[in-house]
Amino acid sequence: MPPTTCRRLALVAIIAVVWAGLPAARAEPSVAADRAEQILFGDHPPGACAPITDAPAHVRCLLSARYGRSRTALRLVLALYDEMGDVAGSEEETDLDGGYRGTIHLVPALPVGDAEEHLRWILGAQREIEGFLAGLGRRAGAPLSYRHRALAWRFFRSIKRRTPSAYAAAWEVGYNVVGSLNSSAMGVRDTLFHEIFHLNDAAHDGWSRRELGDLVDGIIARCGTDSACLSPYAPTATQVKKTGTYYAFQPDNGDNANEYAAELATRYFIEQRAALRGERPSGVRFKCGPEENRRAWRALADEFFGGVDLVPPCRP
């Protein structure tokens, strides 16, 4: 065998060994075509979009069939799919157990006509979250494994109510086109960060209950529903209108550790976003409050955001 051939074979063997030792590339998450059909059309997908080999093309066909009568809405849902891999469909009619809210009747509601603004806000929020996570990843020295893409959006309208504004499970986000918090681009962005955190929390095997459960239970045992007592510990100013209790600590609202962590993530987003933009902190920095705040802030950053904390240190 010629020497050059031997060297080539040796090089191929070395490359094969090195390649075998590398971790497998993680597949990008996506919304499968059959799931997109269900989200957009339930059990009656259009015959014009027969399954094809190219799944993205199939999903685009489904979106075009569903939103074809609204040029503006179609442009927005296609942008949401092409940029984020998200599929915007509708919720099924159902009665929701809303905890302290009682039973709420939900009906499907596509974001078209007067509701198209919600698509603009969601697309804008997803773009902003994308930039935020990229900025943190650069500071952390590696991309963050925090998912906000390839989500299924299920739009609905609550009958005679304006709650809930949104909910999330299994990489799906239910979105209320008449939700009380969904009335501005900023309100939608912060609400969605809260809900998307719930999805990541679940993907981390219920991190909030495991790591913050005792901390949150201790705050509630100390304060009950006394807003003045809870105020230093509340990550955001969101309060339940009916009771005046901070949302993170509202009784009969599922697991309080879960809601506290999502509110904490939203506060982290707001403060870190300002730091990334070089803006001066406004108001009290959350981690500079009670010791519980500092512990929760550090734990959240370490678990989900590469340990990054760009917020200036607290004064002695």
Last residue of a domain, one of 150, 184, 218: 184
pLDDT at position 9 over 80: no
pLDDT of residue 262: 98
pTM: 0.90
Q: What is the mean pLDDT of residues 262-277?
A: 97
Q: What are phi and psi of 150, to 5 degrees?
A: 55, 50
* Structure-block tokens of residue 188: 């939608």
Pair 40, 167 in one domain: yes
Pair 60, 180 in one domain: yes
pLDDT at position 15 over 50: no
DSSP 247: G
Q: What is the pLDDT of residues 183-208, one digit of tens each?
A: 999 999 999 999 999 999 999 999 99
- Please indicate whether residue 264 or residue 282 has the higher confidence score (pLDDT): 264
Pair 62, 176 in one domain: yes
Domain that holds residue 123: 35-44+56-184
**Across the chain, what does the average pLDDT equal?**
90
In a domain, residue 283? The reply is yes
Pair 286, 225 in one domain: yes
* Structure-block tokens of residue 279: 């803006």
- Looking only at Cα atoms, what is the longest distance across the chain? 85
In a domain, residue 14? The reply is no
> CA–CA separation, 178 vs 215, rounded Å?
34
- What are the CA-CA distances from residue 215 to residues 102, 124, 138, 208, 292 (Å)? 28, 34, 31, 10, 7
Q: What is the pLDDT of residues 122-172, one digit of tens each?
A: 999 999 999 999 999 999 999 999 999 999 999 999 999 999 999 999 999
In a domain, residue 96? The reply is yes
Last residue of a domain, one of 184, 199, 224: 184
Q: Are 267 and 288 spatial neighbours (Cβ–Cβ below 8 Å)? A: no
> CA–CA separation, 172 vs 83, rounded Å?
17
Last residue of a domain, one of 123, 149, 184: 184
Q: Are 165 and 182 spatial neighbours (Cβ–Cβ below 8 Å)? A: yes
Q: What is the pLDDT of residues 46-100, one digit of tens each?
A: 877 876 678 899 999 999 999 999 999 999 999 999 999 999 999 999 999 878 7
pLDDT at position 14 over 60: no
Q: Are 166 and 175 spatial neighbours (Cβ–Cβ below 8 Å)? A: yes
In a domain, residue 21? The reply is no
Pair 119, 246 in one domain: no
In a domain, residue 277? The reply is yes
The structural domain count of the chain equals: 2
Pair 40, 164 in one domain: yes
Q: Are 253 and 99 spatial neighbours (Cβ–Cβ below 8 Å)? A: yes
- Please indicate whether residue 13 or residue 187 has the higher confidence score (pLDDT): 187
Pair 175, 67 in one domain: yes
pLDDT at position 301 over 80: yes
Pair 135, 257 in one domain: no
Pair 171, 129 in one domain: yes
Look at residues 86, 90, 117 and name the one whose alpha carbon lies nearest to residue 106. 90
Q: What is the pLDDT of residues 208-254, one digit of tens each?
A: 999 999 999 999 999 999 999 999 999 999 999 888 899 999 999 99
Pair 61, 162 in one domain: yes
In a domain, residue 275? The reply is yes
Dihedral Cα 256, 103, 243, 187, nearest 10 deg: 70
> CA–CA separation, 179 vs 171, rounded Å?
20
Pair 166, 125 in one domain: yes
- What are the CA-CA distances from residue 313 to residues 89, 281, 285 (Å)? 44, 11, 9
188 Cβ neighbours under 8 A, 6+ residues apart: 118, 121, 122, 125, 181, 182
In a domain, residue 110? The reply is yes
In a domain, residue 315? The reply is no
Pair 262, 297 in one domain: yes
